[in-house]
Every structure is written in C-alpha cells, then in structure tokens.
Amino acid sequence: MHDDYRAPLAAGTFLGGYAKTFGRVSLAEVTGMELLHVAVPQGGQGELSARIEAATGLAWPPPGKFSVPEDGGPGMMLWLAEDQCMIASAADEGGSPARLAEAIGGAGYCTGQTDNWIVLRLAGDGAVAALERICPLDLDESVSPAGSAARTSMEHLPVIMLRESAAGFILLSASSSAASFLHAVETSVRNTAP
Amino acid sequence: MTANFRIGGGLVDSGTPVGFTFNGRRMTGLAGDTLASALLANGQRLVARSFKYHRPRGIFSAGSEEPNALLQLHSGAHCEPNTRATVTELFEGLSARSQNHVGSLDLDIMAVNDLLSPFLGAGFYYKTFMWPAAFWERVYEPLIRASAGLGRLSGAEDPDSYDKGFLHADLLVIGAGPAGLSAALAAGSSGARVILADEDFRMGGKLNADRCEVDAEPGAEWAARAVVELSEMANVRLLPRTTVYGAYDHGVYGALERLTDHLPPGSAQSPRQVLWRIRAKRAILASGAIERPIAFGNNDRPGVMLAGAVRTYANRFAVACGRRVAVFTNNDSGWQAARELDARGVRVVAVIDSRDGPPPEPVGQAKIVMGGRVVDTRGRKGLSRILLASGRSIAADCLAVSGGWNPALHLTCHLGGRPAWNESISAFVPGANLPPGMSVAGAAGGSLGLAAALHEGHAAALAALEHLGRAPTRRPVAAAHDEPVSGSALWIVSESRPRAWIDLQNDVTLKDVRLSHQEGFRSVEHLKRYTTLGMATDQGKTSNVIGLAAMASLTGRSVPETGTTVFRPPYTPVPIGAFAGRSRGRDFRPVRLTPSHAWAEERGAVFVETGSWIRAQWFPRPGETHWRESVDREVRMTRQSVGLCDVTTLGKIDIKGRDAGAFLDRVYTGTFSALPVGRVKYGLMLREDGIAYDDGTTARLDTHHFLMTTTTANAALVFRRLEFTRQCLWPNLDVHLTSVTDGWAQFSVAGPNARSLLERIVDAGHDISNDAFPFMACSALTVCGGTPARLFRISFSGELAYELAVPTRFGDALARRLMAAGEEFDAVPYGTEALGVMRIEKGHVSGNELNGQTTALNLGLAAMVSKKKDCIGKVLSERPELNGDDQFRFAGFIPVDRSEALDAGAHFLAKGARAVTESDEGWMSSVAYSPSLGHHIGLGFIRNGHKRIGETVRAWNGVRGRDIEVEVVSPHFLDPAGERLRA
C-alpha cells in the first residue's frame, strides 16, 4: 500500500488562477510561467549570452530592460542586476528551467525561481492610475517605455515590474505574500475606478 | 428666518440652491459656495467660540488661513472636528455645528472665562496648577485636558478610507493663481510634464476674488479658460482640491488631495483623500500672499474680517459681509476692497486709512478718515460700532481690515531656509536658501501686483525649462496691470486700551506678549511656546508677523532682528488617517503565509506572527482546553514517534560560484570550503564587532553550489549583508546569491519514526538508510513519483530528524501526503511552541540567545571560531574584554523545587545578594515546561557558568515579583551525547 503515498503530488497555484475585470482594467494571475535566475561567472558574459541566445533566441538585455526573441517566439529575459538576469518562459512551450539550465551548463549559474514569485498581469486604460497608488517609480512612457524592467517595492513588498505596453504590466512579487500583494494591487484598481 | 446677504453675480450658481444645516438650523446656499460664504449669505455672523475665553467669533478670512470658523462637520462616525468653514465646499445635506461651548453657541456658559481673563494670561496654568503635587495627575491634568482642544472626535473608527500615491513631474507648480497659471501655461505649452496643484476647488486664486482684467477679459474668465486649456494638455496634470503641504529632500513634495470631502459622507466609492508624494525636478511656489490684520481693541468680534476676504465674498461668492461695511487699512489694497465693494453694491460707510495725506479717491458715500485708527469696537455677538482714536464712533456691522500682505512662503522654509525681510511691503519674503529646484513667483515672493505675478510665473517657468534642457515656449505672457500696492507698517494700534488680539485661534492678546516679555522670554521660539502664539491648526498664518512686531516693539528691535519661528510641514492640517493610508486594521502590513497555511487552518491551528510570517503555533485537538495540553502532546508524540513542522520560514540563500566556498569561509566562523558535497554543516556568523549575529546550516549541494539557511527573523538582513560583502568587500570573488526562501516548501520530519515515514514517499533509488544518509547528509532526490526535492538530515529537536523541501507549489500537497503516510505512526503536526520546547530541551540556541549582546564564547560555541582562517568579526571577537574569566556562559537551569515555573528574563543572584545591578550574575533567556522531564527547564547566561554546574543560585524576577532557587545544569537536557539524532 506504500506506493499510494508515492502518487504524484498536485501542484497548487498561489492565487487559484485569480482573474477579474474592473471596468477597463483587468487583473489576473499568470500561471505556468517558469522562471530561471541566471548569473554570469566572472569573465563569462560572452559565452553565457551566446548559449542563452542559441537555446532561446533571447539576447542579454541592457539594464532596466527585458528582451524578447527577435522571431516573436515565446519567453523573455529581464535584467535584474549587474551580471544577473531572469529568463521567463511558458511551461507548456518547452521552456522548462531544467532543460534551459542544462543548455547553459557551466556557462552560467542557474537557479530555479518559478516558485519564488507570483505573477500578475495588470492591463487596461486605468492600469497606470492604479499603479500610481502603490508604485514609487515614474510610469510616464518617456521614462518607462514598453520593454522596461524594474525592481521596486509596493506596499512594503518586493516587486519586479515589466511593462509590456503603454497600459500593460507584468508584476512579480514574492510568493509567500501573494495574497497581500494581490490585495494591494486590487485595492489600487478599485480605488482608482472611474 | 435668516437674513439674506446674497448679492447678484459672482462665481456661484444662483440656479442651484444647496440645502445645509448649521447647529440644526436649515439654511440654503448656492452651488459654488463654501460653507463660510453660505453662512455669511444667511446672515450667520456668530459661528464659533474662542479657545480660551469663549469669546464670540465669526468668519475672519476666505481661505485656509482661517483662525476662527472651525466647525464640526457631519455626525456619527463621519464626524470631523476643527474643519475650516472657509475651505469647506458646500454640498446638499452638509451638516455643520459650532464647537467649544457649553450650552448653546449664543449662550456659552464657559464665556465666564472672559470675565476671568485677568487671571488667565499666558502661562497661567504653569503657575496655577502647582500645588499640591498630588493633584497633578488626578485633578489638574484631567481639568486641563477637558478644557483643551476645540472640537470632539466621534470616538468611533474612521469609516473613510485613505490612499497614498506617487507622482512625478518635470515641474510642480504650487498654487493656481495668476502666477501659477501663467507658469503652468508656459511650461505646459513647451511639452514639459507639469503638475499644477491648488488647495481650492476652483483654480484661479485671486483672479476669482478680485475685479481685474487679464488679456482684456475679466480675470475669473481668463483663469477658467486657462484651466480648460491646461486640462487639454496631455502633459499637464491638474490637481484641484490639493494642498502641497510640505517640501522634503530630493525634490519630493507632500500633497493631500481631497477626493470626496465635497460629497456627502459615505456616498463615494473612492478613498476620501490621497496623500501624494510628488517627485519634481523643479518646483515653482506660487502660493500667493495672506493678508494680515491690525491689532486693536476688541478686534476679535464677529464682523471684523480681513478686507481681502470681504472682497472675495462679494466678488466670488456674491455675498455682502455686512449692511454697513467700514474699511480700516494701512495700504492701498484696503482701498481696492472698498472700491470693489462699492461697485458690487455693498454699502461702504467709512474708509479709515492709518496713513496721513490726501485720500486717493472718494468711495461712494463713505466717510474717508486719513491718519485714522480704530481703537475699539462694540457689539458682543457681532460688530455694531467702531471707535476711532479721534473719539469718533461709526456704526458698522462689518469692519474690513487690511494690515498688508504676508507672502505664503512656508514651503520655502521646510528644508531649513530662513525668510528675509522686505521693507517695501513690511513683510518676510522667501530667503536665498530655497529648497533645491524651487523658485518662487508672484505674491509668494513679495510681488503683490497682478502683472508682476503673471510675468514672474512665466519667467520662472522659462528658467525651469532651461534647467530641464527644454526649449523655451513661444507663448507670450498674459497682459494685465499692476494694481497699487504701497502701504505703511502698522501692526498694533497703540492707543487701544482694551485687549487687542494678535492670535485669534489661541486667544493670544498683546497683553500676553507683554507678559511673556516681562517674564524674560526673549526668543521668538520661547514666545511662541509660552503664549501658544502661532500654534494649532492655522499655525499663525494671520498672527505670526504682528506677534513678531509686538515682540520687536517691546525689545526695541526691528522685526527682522526679532526673527521668525521655524515653519514646518504640514502647511495646513493633514488627517492622521491620510498619513496612515491603507495601513490600518488587517491591512496594517502585508503578511507571508507558509505553504501549509490552508492545511493548518483546516486542522484548527492557532497562529502566531513571526516577523511578517503567520505560523502555526500549535494544533489543538478536541478536548484540549489549554495550550500547554496541545504543546505537551505535540512534543511527546514527536519524541515517541514522529512529528511534522513547516519550517519554510527559515531564510534560504542559494550561493553559487567558483569562490562560493571561500566566500562562506569569510562570512562564517567555521570552514566551509572543505565541506564535502552532500554534507551539511552548522554555521555561526559574527557581526564586525565580534558579537554573534545569525546561525543556521549550510548544505553543499555541488562543488560550486551551497544552500545557506538563516533564522526566520534575519533572513532579509543576512541576504542584504551578504550582498554587501559580495559586491563591495570582495568583488573579485566569483560568487552569486539568490534568495530561494519562497521557492521551497520545507518540512521538518522529526522523531524515531521519521525515516520510516520518509521511506514511504521517497522515490525508489534513493537510499536514506542511516549508513547511506547519515546525520548531516543532504541530497537532491525525488519524492512521490518524481517531484523534485531536497532532503537534509538535520535536527533542531534533537531527534532523528530530516528537513524535506519541495518546490512551493507542492507544499500543501506534501503536508497532506506526509500526514497520510504518517497515520500508521500516529504522526502529529507540531507548531512553533513545540518546536521551541524541543530545542530548549536539546539546548540549541535561538533568537533569545542570539540577542545582539552575546559572543560565540558566551554561547558555548567558541570552538566554532576557526583559528586557521579569518572571518568577519573574528578580530574584534578576540578583544580581551570579551574573553577571559568571568564571562557570561551559556547554561541550563532547573528549579530546585521542581514544581516551580521559570521566567524568561529573570536575573541570577547569589543567595542572600541584594537585587541590584552590582549583584547581577546573568539572565534566563529561554524557558519551557519540558514534557519529557516533567518540570520546567531554562536556558540562560551566567558568569563562568561552565564551571558552576551543580551550584544553586536565585532566579529573581522583579517584574513578576518572583524569586526562586535554581540549579545550574548542562544546557543539554536531553540526549547530550546525540544518540537519537544519529540513530
């Protein structure tokens, strides 16, 4: 009977696949996004970038930006700090962090990050107005155009903010405080509803 | 029946009546009114009682400087005391009450204070409430508290919500009068990102209040058009109803936007107010000027008002402040007020100018008195007559007073700037030391004319554009004429015999200033604190300068020599609720939940906050009535069979790189570079000063890959410090850090059956037998048919124990699976209490012992500080003061009478010693009831403890009044040889 205990474990989602629309703003948990933290061994930027590009088509982004494959394929790579990036890929499109880490091999230091983060997508005409209530960063497009990646904090919680478009944002925050973070973002959306 | 003081025109909507109540009486105002203008339109002159003497008071100003008309708005939980009627926008159903009276507003029995005024001068309570000392707290303090303050709080929780936010701009323009509008138009049309904020609900400032022309159209119409034009610019953000209340470092300004204060309470969905942090590269202060009064006898009666306010009520709000208005002025703007009142059909009965010389012009039928001075007034609840120094008496129900204008320069002083004196307008103007990036335009800078304001606003915008590297605008400056603004200084009418009020809000009279001077208070800061001049909600906006002038005349110095008190934020009151924002109640701060939280909730766990984490403290079972029952059971069953505890909260830091081992050698006291792959080692970190800082285990998962665990409390701190050392101290090391705390759900599985339980879920092919996977082994493996996992054989409880980690998404499922698989062993979940009891039984140190005062030596861990290498803190840990004999040593303690409980925090004293600091021998840091031993046990520090095993000392607890005998024992109460954890 012991083998019953070895049946596969069910994976949960941090926010149960939350998705809501408030007027013209939509807020939803992004599930199935795999995250891999990649750090550059000293002196190894060239080789690491080349391996990542070969495996994913993603170019190492400049500071404050994220890159997407030139061919429009899935995934993105976001700049985190000097010598550090995070690669985001959709689990169902073969973007397994383990496979990617294998492709990178010794050329980079890879750490799985999928379970460390909750991912929200905030989009729509009121997205910027909502973020103004919790985001200390300047959200004007002249300062933070589409393609920007920034680390900040909102309501005392750590956040990585990616700007997909003028009114489209991806927000990553710590998974343990997922409920508090969702509450903070949702409250901002509600508080700015027209 | 109320009198109607409404005149035609103005910027109110005569077609939209608005009903409201004052002290329960129904009244009607118009859309566009403030509460103050509506009260005046209804002939309500008496609106308040003064703070100390309970004197009748009326509306004094037309802006945020109002010292008198502080009212209580709304009812029930929405009740809002001390609201200035002059800035309260009228809405249908608004209910307002007067405050600070016992009995009705008309018959306030506390008005007896006015008769007692000879005894109630400045500082009277410092002198009066001295004897006997026994009365201080029981009689005097309640008495003083009862009479302090004006309005009353509801006592109920604030039902409104508040929010905060962040805004960014190239240019912040503070104030939307002529200078501010001119600046915003110039900067906005050049494409710069502009925020224009104004405290009023209608932008335009004095353009709405004066009869003036800009670009050949009425000022108010020009302002309205400018606002429309600005609102159409995508790069300009208009913030009406927004007070910029403070200037802070790095171009940050605090602003309070009142989103729903003009709507019936509870009717809006959005938060009531938003506290903005505005980060601006440049700022233009265009906050205008505040008119100052002149102090003369009985100058506080309802009907005595600022001349500019009387003009504003007539021009903007279409309200006559009286049937017979007299004007008392020392400058040209008083004449402008008289002219405009006359033009609006308000009867001006006299213009009294303190200056000698010929009158500038006739004003209707008004008597003109040049070189005149008002010395006294009549009319208890409203002005009826004014008396001049010449002995002449004039019947008047409103006296419009203008003593000149003070620039509203407060924000220029918030970062330490000091104002400078400008003789030509007899006022302080902004000094040279402005907040970085700020410039001042218009009346705020002392340029009182309209054309000057428009020009200066435009010029300040051009200068800001140049700083920002932007092309200047081609837009021309709007054209207007400067009105005459000359005047002469007159602060106080010296011929006045009755009391002359300087600070209306605090009931400070000239006599109080004299008394303060007489009693030796020479500094203006002392004057302020002794007399309360310039304190409270208006912060002396109308009283400050005449108070200084009074002080100056007493000391024989000039006003600039006397100096001013320091202006600090906020410019106008900001509700505490706005500062708190969302951070209240359940949302006081964010919380972190463990992966097994839902599961623990289902099992009825009692939770505890540990930092921002919410952890299960114990899991009560039906029938258990006391926490000790639950905790004792969890400990016993874990030690007998197996228990399960969520330990996800411990910090986990992934450390990778060719130099990862060398890096760890430098931050830990022990050597980690030699740790074999697949092994775990306990590590201790020191601060630079040699004091123990954090501890935990670090596993070597691969040659260049370590996984460090930290204490829950220090997880973020340790990560930050490690990043600092990596980036700043040793940038040459090839090492990277990644926090993985949230990424792995980690469970402690402890007890003699721990291995048997784990064997039921660990996938085939992974040998976790004692030989293959001994104490302090670690391995990556899979569980439950392929779920990636990490297993560490480490023990905090002292039992055969493991910590099993899986990616967080599987945490909930793993907890349930472990419990299911553990059913045949009677596996129990245990919480932080049982965890604490077991670690105390085992003698492991924890946060109570690593308290920021203890060294490795104190902790009994001196052997862990490697002699063969250096590490952070090592050198300073070798200080003689921290070593040698007589140091505190970690030890165990048991009560001599085993039935006694122990207290953490108790101090150790020798038998017979007095409980004084000199006798102190150490302290108890952690205590628990040990279900394994059947009595209380404690851990603590006692001098030379390692040599005192078996000795009896006293554990003295002054807080709880307990003093018991304890025996010094080994801190390892259970299995000191460690046989269990190696089983």
Question: Which residues in chain B (549-568) have CB-CB distances under 8 A to chain A?
Answer: none
* pLDDT at A73 > cutoff 80: no
- In total, chain B counts a number of residues equal to 983
Instruction: Write the DSSP assignment of B476-512 as a string of letters.
Output: PPPP--PPP--B----B-TT--S-BEEETTTTEEHHH
> What is the count of residue pairs from A and B with beta carbons less than 8 Å apart?
149
Contact B782, B802 (CB under 8 A): no
Q: What is the 3-state secondary structure (H, E, C) of B395-459?
A: ECCEEEEECCEEECCHHHHCCCCCCEEEHHHCEEECCCCCCCCEEECHHHHCCCCHHHHHHHHHH
- Given pLDDT bands bounded at 50, 70 and 90, which one contains residue A3? low
The values of phi and psi at residue B379, to 5°, are: 110, 100
CA triplet B470, B473, B478: central angle to 5 degrees? 145
Q: Collapse the DSSP code of B744 into the 3-class scheme (helix H, G, I; strand E, B; otherwise coil) and give the result.
A: strand
The one-letter amino acid at B387: L
Name the minimum distance, in Å, from the CA of A101 to any CA of chain B: 14
Q: Do A175 and B648 touch (CB under 8 A)?
A: no
Contacts of B306 by beta carbon, 8 Å cutoff, 6+ apart: B60, B61, B62, B291, B293, B400, B401, B402, B542
- Whole-angstrom distance, CA of residue B95 vs CA of residue B273: 20
User: Which two tokens mark B53?
Assistant: 């003497």
CA triplet B22, B28, B33: central angle to 5 degrees? 90
Give residue-wise pLDDT tens across range B54-81. 999 999 999 999 999 999 999 999 999 9
For chain A, say whether B109 makes contact (Cβ under 8 Å): no
Contacts of A52 by beta carbon, 8 Å cutoff, 6+ apart: A38, A58, A60, A77, A87, A104, A108
Contact B352, B374 (CB under 8 A): yes
Residue from A109, A143, A161, A181 whose CB has the most chain B CBs within 10 Å, to mutate: A109
Signed CA dihedral, B217, B221, B225, B230: sign only:
positive
Q: Do A9 and B814 touch (CB under 8 A)?
A: yes
Contacts of B715 by beta carbon, 8 Å cutoff, 6+ apart: B649, B650, B651, B652, B739, B741
Question: Which residues in chain B (755-794) have CB-CB distances under 8 A to chain A?
Answer: 760-761, 763, 783-787
Q: Largest alpha-carbon pair distance within chain A?
A: 63
Q: Do B738 and A111 touch (CB under 8 A)?
A: yes
Cis peptide before B132 (omega within 30 of 0): yes
What is chain A's percent helix, strand, coil content, to nearest 5? 30, 35, 35
Give the per-residue pLDDT at B473. 85
Estimate to the nearest angstrom the gap between the alpha carbon of A22 and the chain centroid: 22
Residue from B732, B736, B755, B824 whose CB has the most chain A CBs within 10 Å, to mutate: B736
The conformational region for residue B540 under phi > 0 = left, psi -120 to 50 = alpha, else beta, is left
Q: Which of A8, A134, A190 sits opposite B785 (nearest CB)?
A: A8
The one-letter amino acid at B600: A
Estimate to the nearest angstrom the gap between the alpha carbon of B448 and the chain centroid: 35
Instruction: Write the DSSP assignment of B1-20 as a string of letters.
Output: -----B-S-TTSEEEEEEEE
Give the per-residue pLDDT at A1. 47
Signed CA dihedral, B211, B42, B397, B63: sign only:
negative
Closest chain B residue by Cα to residue A135: B166
Q: Do B168 and A143 touch (CB under 8 A)?
A: yes
User: Exposure of B155 by Cβ count < 10 A (0-12 exposed, 13-18 middle, 19+ buried)?
Assistant: exposed
The CB density around residue B77, as the number of other CB atoms within 10 Å, is 14
Give the per-residue pLDDT at B1. 37
For chain B, say whether A112 makes contact (Cβ under 8 Å): yes
The DSSP 8-state label assigned to residue B565 in this structure reads P
Name the minimum distance, in Å, from the CA of B408 to any CA of chain A: 29
Give the per-residue pLDDT at A2. 55
CA triplet A172, A177, A178: central angle to 5 degrees? 55
For chain B, say whether A156 makes contact (Cβ under 8 Å): yes
Name the minimum distance, in Å, from the CA of B565 to any CA of chain A: 34
Residue from A2, A3, A6, A192 whose CB has the most chain B CBs within 10 Å, to mutate: A6
Contacts of B967 by beta carbon, 8 Å cutoff, 6+ apart: B893, B894, B895, B896, B950, B951, B952
Name the minimum distance, in Å, from the CA of B829 to any CA of chain A: 18
The one-letter amino acid at B681: K
> Which residues of chain A neighbour B760 with C-beta distances below 8 Å?
2, 5-6
Closest chain A residue by Cα to residue B193: A140
Contact B708, B559 (CB under 8 A): no
Q: Please name every residue paired with B705 in a beta bridge, in sequence order, or none if there are none.
A: B656, B702
Task: Report the run of H or E that residue A46 belongs to, with start and end.
Answer: helix A45-56
Signed CA dihedral, B578, B69, B531, B289: sign only:
positive
> Which residues of chain B neighbour A142 with C-beta distances below 8 Å?
193
Residue from B738, B781, B804 whose CB has the most chain A CBs within 10 Å, to mutate: B738
- Whole-angstrom distance, CA of residue A76 vs CA of residue B928: 52
Give the per-residue pLDDT at B3. 62
- Residue stretches of chain B with pLDDT short of 70: 1-3
- Whole-angstrom distance, CA of residue A132 vs CA of residue B32: 30
Q: Do A191 and B808 touch (CB under 8 A)?
A: no
> Which residues of chain A neighbour B275 with C-beta distances below 8 Å?
none
> Which residues of chain A neighbour B811 with C-beta distances below 8 Å?
12
CA triplet A103, A107, A111: central angle to 5 degrees? 75
User: What is the ipTM, given to two decimal places?
Assistant: 0.96
R_g of chain A computed on alpha carbons:
18
Q: Do A9 and B738 touch (CB under 8 A)?
A: no
Closest chain B residue by Cα to residue A84: B736
For chain B, say whether A92 makes contact (Cβ under 8 Å): no
Give the per-residue pLDDT at B120. 81
Q: Which of A41, A115, A155 sits opposite B742 (nearest CB)?
A: A115
R_g of chain B computed on alpha carbons:
38
* pLDDT at A92 > cutoff 70: no
Q: What is the dihedral of CA B201, B202, B204, B206, to 10 degrees?
A: -80
For chain B, say whether A135 makes contact (Cβ under 8 Å): yes
Task: Report the run of H or E that residue B665 belongs to, with start and end.
Answer: helix B660-667
Q: What is the dihedral of CA B898, B901, B904, B907, to 10 degrees?
A: -60
Name the minimum distance, in Å, from the CA of A133 to any CA of chain B: 4
Q: Do B704 and A109 touch (CB under 8 A)?
A: yes
Query: Packing angle between helix B524-531 and helix B510-518, nearest 10 degrees?
Result: 120
The DSSP 8-state label assigned to residue A60 in this structure reads P
> Which residues of chain B neighbour A134 with C-beta distances below 8 Å?
164-165
Q: Do B166 and A137 touch (CB under 8 A)?
A: yes
Q: Do A9 and B810 touch (CB under 8 A)?
A: yes
Closest chain B residue by Cα to residue A192: B270
Name the minimum distance, in Å, from the CA of B592 to any CA of chain A: 4
- Whole-angstrom distance, CA of residue B477 vs CA of residue B458: 6
- Given pLDDT bands bounded at 50, 70 and 90, which one contains residue A93? low
Among A66, A40, A70, residue whose Cα is nearest residue A56 = A70
User: Which two tokens mark B653?
Assistant: 């830091």
- Whole-angstrom distance, CA of residue B233 vs CA of residue B238: 10
Among B147, B137, B124, B132, residue whose Cα is nearest residue B49 = B147
Q: Collapse the DSSP code of B585 into the 3-class scheme (helix H, G, I; strand E, B; otherwise coil) and give the result.
A: helix
Closest chain B residue by Cα to residue A178: B592
The one-letter amino acid at B768: I
Give the per-residue pLDDT at A95. 56
Q: Strand A117-124: give its sheet, edge to edge.
A: A19-22, A25-29, A117-124, A168-174, A157-165, A149-154
Residue from B742, B758, B761, B781 whose CB has the most chain A CBs within 10 Å, to mutate: B742
Give the per-residue pLDDT at B54. 93
User: Which two tokens mark B966?
Assistant: 């304890």
- Whole-angstrom distance, CA of residue B906 vs CA of residue B925: 8
Contact B488, B329 (CB under 8 A): no
